[in-house]
């Protein structure tokens, strides 16, 4: 089973709203990732959690706040977003973050949340 789930599938929010995106995996993976993807562009890494600790924050604005409550869950809290933040937000997980043979660093993506900021 290589399933990563994300909720909601679609989200429309105003610039003053607070909302959260959720991601869950039950593959025993210890690394989880948030990506942002604009149309016709590749995914851009936002955050990486490794063993439930934030290990990478790619200079993401503070209006995006990640949270990893446990090894299976990853949240992305949204507050005071801008229209240019509208995008597909992708969650991914991997067994761990060690490179090399064996596929441990293979990332599996969830279906994404399509976010529209009005």
Partner 1 sequence: QKEVEQNSGPLSVPEGAIASLNCTYSDRGSQSFFWYRQYSGKSPELIMFIYSNGDKEDGRFTAQLNKASQYVSLLIRDSQPSDSATYLCAVYNNNDMRFGAGTRLTVKP
Q: How many CB atoms lie within 10 A of CB 81?
A: 22
Kind and range of the H or E run holding 54: strand 53-57
The 3-state DSSP class for residue 84 equals helix
Nearer to partner 1, 5 or 82 (CB): 5
**Lookup: tokens for 107:** 């990332």
Kindly write out the interface string for residues 86-105 of this chain, putting x where it contacts partner 1 by CB under 8 A and - elsewhere. Answer: --x-x------x-xxx-x-x
- Does the protein bind partner 1 through residue 30 (CB under 8 A)? no
- Contacts with partner 1, residue ranges (CB under 8 A): 2, 41-43, 45, 48, 55-56, 88, 90, 97, 99-101, 103, 105-112, 114
């Amino acid at each position: 089973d290589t399933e990563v789930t994300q909720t909601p599938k679609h989200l429309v929010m105003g610039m003053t709203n607070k909302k959260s995106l959720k991601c869950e995996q039950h593959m025993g993976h210890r690394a989880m990732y948030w990506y942002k993807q604009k149309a016709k562009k590749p995914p851009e890494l936002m955050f990486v959690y490794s063993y439930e600790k934030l290990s990478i924050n790619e200079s993401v604005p503070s209006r995006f706040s990640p949270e990893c409550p446990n090894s299976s869950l990853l949240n992305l809290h949204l507050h005071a977003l801008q229209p240019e933040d509208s995008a597909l937000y992708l969650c991914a997980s991997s067994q761990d973050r060690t490179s090399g043979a064996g596929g441990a660093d293979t990332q599996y993506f969830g279906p994404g949340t399509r976010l529209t900021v009005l």
